[in-house]
Amino acid sequence: MYKRWILLIVTILLAACKQQTTVLTSMPTSTLPTATRELPLPALTPTPAIYVVQAGDTLSAIATKFDVPVEWIAQANNIQDPNVIRVGQTLIIPGPTPIPTETVPPTATPTPDVPPQLEIASVIGRGAPGTETVVIANRGRSVSLKQWTLRDAQDNIFVFPDLYLSAGAEVRIHTGKGENTPLHLYWNRETAVWEEESDTAILADDRGVVYASKTLE
């Protein structure tokens, strides 16, 4: 009888232990979330740009190019008068701002300096102021004859007015009186100029450089 009670107690205890073990193993395991540390964004640091003043620049144009107020540039460079800057001056442009791409103008091809090609084509009506006429022909490029001179060997001098002689054109200089036109100019003399034998007609520019001459027969 006593053994039977002992066996019953042991059986109850084993059953209780088994139930407790089953409950413990059936509990779900929870996963704790891992905290993520957020790094702060780096702060923008204003970076000034450097600009060298070019010919034709103004402070307002430079400010527009860099999209900053004129006052900022003036203050950064200790400029008292915003209207006064010089070519080659180095300016500090306050940032942050991107440096604009400078547009390089195309290199101009130099035009060859071709000298005028003028000719004293003829001198007609010599000896009478009403008929004397010197014919000058342009055999080259167009040229301004302003302040050019036509003279003879005796230093009688005619000074050209503001006249532009086109390529291939002619102009006539009359010794007598009249009204100037693009094709006819008047010396307004009362005496002849080209009556001397073996006289020479000389055409020179405003610096005295001779471009044409003609010995009269």
Taking residue 115's Cβ as centre, other Cβ atoms within 10 Å add up to 11
| pLDDT at residue 121 in the model | 95
Is residue 56 very low, low, confident or very high in pLDDT (cuts 50, 70, 90)?
confident
Q: How far is CA 154 from the centre of its chain?
A: 52
Phi, psi of 153 (to 5 degrees): -70, -20
- Assign 3-class secondary structure to 121-188: EEEECCCCCCCCEEEEEECCCCEECCCCEEECCCCCEEECCCCEECCCCEEEEECCCCCCCCCEEECC
| pLDDT at residue 67 in the model | 86
Q: How far apart are the C-alpha atoms of 49 and 100, rounded to whole Å?
A: 10
Q: Indicate the pTM of the whole model.
A: 0.50
| pLDDT at residue 180 in the model | 94
Return the C-alpha torsion angle 82, 85, 90, 92, nearest 10.
Answer: 10
In which element (H, E) is residue 200 found? strand 200-204
Is residue 179 very low, low, confident or very high in pLDDT (cuts 50, 70, 90)?
very high
Token output for 147: 């302040």
Half-sphere exposure of 186 (CA within 13 A, CB side): 12
Helix (H/G/I), strand (E/B), else coil: 118: strand
**Mean pLDDT calculated for residue range 167-181:** 95
